[in-house]
């Protein structure tokens, strides 16, 4: 099998920690170039802009966009119009409308578009989905608390409009929730905690309801130090399921069923290989819709200033 050349646009922490290692391990892809004004990868050709990449390297058919969501639309639009396949880091965009526009553009050009939700590729998520499919969900609780200083050092874009704030990690939980629940739920209320001088929340509490009476609560917090918490508990008519460690571990009635190491981005690139081969569009906006609804319904609560 001949590897597909791919370029990474935006060489930051997530690209170095996750994308590059997974591309290296996947025989379907070869990292052929990068686009960054401030960082390079040893031994890989770098360009200052995506326009330069597209003009000078017409032989690279695919790009992975790893820059902040506020800047992603223009790059994705430009790449699609140039006939390239596009992978979008999560969240896929700063607004729902811009992602919908990218879907239409990709469909018109006949190129692949993949909006990734890396937490859906955690080891236990498929098994959790299958287990819940045979049961009636009564309620669920999301507890997603981490230290923003640890995971986003010096990254001010997360506090700006479109950066999502605590929903940057929180949307990972929502991507799992929308994948594993047999029936969809909707946001019914939200409280959003905004630090003084920040345009995005540092904490959020959401309530959801489903058509069959099921309820979901979510507690997102970016101020947790020490051990990090990424848990989803689901109560059903036939036992309680718990996903821990962001979906890497699954227990049923407190008995461990699955416990595996992180392989999320390996799963993303395995899926992208199929999406590219089929020139498919794989874009699920459900997690982003929940975040948008939370902002629409959310009651704003002012909290103390927070410095990075």
List the catalytic residues: 90
Q: From CA 30, how far away is CA 265, in angstroms rounded? A: 15
The Cβ of residue 252 has, within 10 Å, a number of other Cβ atoms equal to: 18
For the record, the structure tokens of 88 come out as: 């979008």
Direct distance between the N- and C-terminal alpha carbons of the chain, in angstroms, rounded to an integer: 46
For the record, the structure tokens of 168 come out as: 């940057």
Q: Which of 97, 57, 53, 59 is nearest to 78 (CA)?
A: 53
Q: Which of 110, 114, 108 is nearest to 29 (CA)?
A: 114
* Cis peptide bond upstream of 37, omega within 30: no
Residue where the block lists tokens 């059903």: 236
Residues 6+ apart with CB under 8 A from 296: none
What is the enclosing helix (H) or strand (E) of 251?
strand 249-252
Q: How many CA atoms lie within 13 A of 2 on its CB side?
A: 4
Residue 66 and residue 10 in contact, taking contact as beta carbons nearer than 8 Å: yes
**Alpha-helical runs (H) found in 17-145:** 20-25, 50-56, 72-81, 96-109, 125-133
């Amino acid at each position: 099998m001949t590897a597909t050349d791919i370029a990474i646009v935006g060489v930051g922490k997530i690209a170095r920690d996750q994308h590059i290692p997974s591309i290296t391990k996947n025989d379907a892809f070869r990292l052929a170039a990068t686009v960054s004004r401030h960082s390079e990868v040893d031994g890989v050709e770098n360009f200052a802009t995506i326009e330069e990449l597209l003009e000078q390297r017409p032989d690279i058919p695919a790009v992975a966009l790893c820059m902040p969501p506020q800047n992603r639309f223009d790059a994705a639009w430009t790449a699609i119009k140039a006939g390239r396949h596009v992978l979008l880091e999560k969240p896929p965009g700063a607004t729902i409308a811009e992602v919908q526009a990218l879907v239409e553009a990709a469909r018109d050009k006949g190129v692949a578009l993949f909006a990734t939700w890396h937490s859906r590729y955690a080891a236990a998520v498929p098994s959790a989905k299958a287990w819940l499919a045979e049961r009636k969900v009564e309620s669920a609780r999301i507890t997603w608390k981490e230290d923003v200083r640890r995971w986003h050092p010096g990254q001010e874009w997360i506090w700006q409009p479109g950066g999502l704030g605590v929903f940057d990690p929180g949307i990972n939980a929502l991507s799992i929730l929308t994948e594993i629940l047999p029936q969809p739920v909707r946001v019914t209320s939200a409280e959003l905690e905004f630090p003084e001088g920040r345009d995005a929340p540092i904490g959020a509490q959401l309530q959801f309801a489903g058509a069959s009476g099921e309820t979901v609560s979510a507690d997102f917090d970016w101020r947790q130090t020490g051990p990090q918490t990424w848990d989803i508990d689901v109560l059903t008519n036939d036992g309680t399921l718990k996903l821990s460690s962001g979906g890497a571990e699954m227990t049923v009635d407190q008995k461990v069923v699955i416990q595996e190491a992180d392989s999320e981005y390996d799963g993303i690139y395995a899926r992208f290989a199929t999406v590219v081969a089929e020139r498919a569009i794989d874009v699920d906006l459900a997690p982003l819709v929940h975040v948008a609804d939370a902002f629409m319904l959310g009651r704003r609560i002012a909290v103390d200033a927070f410095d990075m």
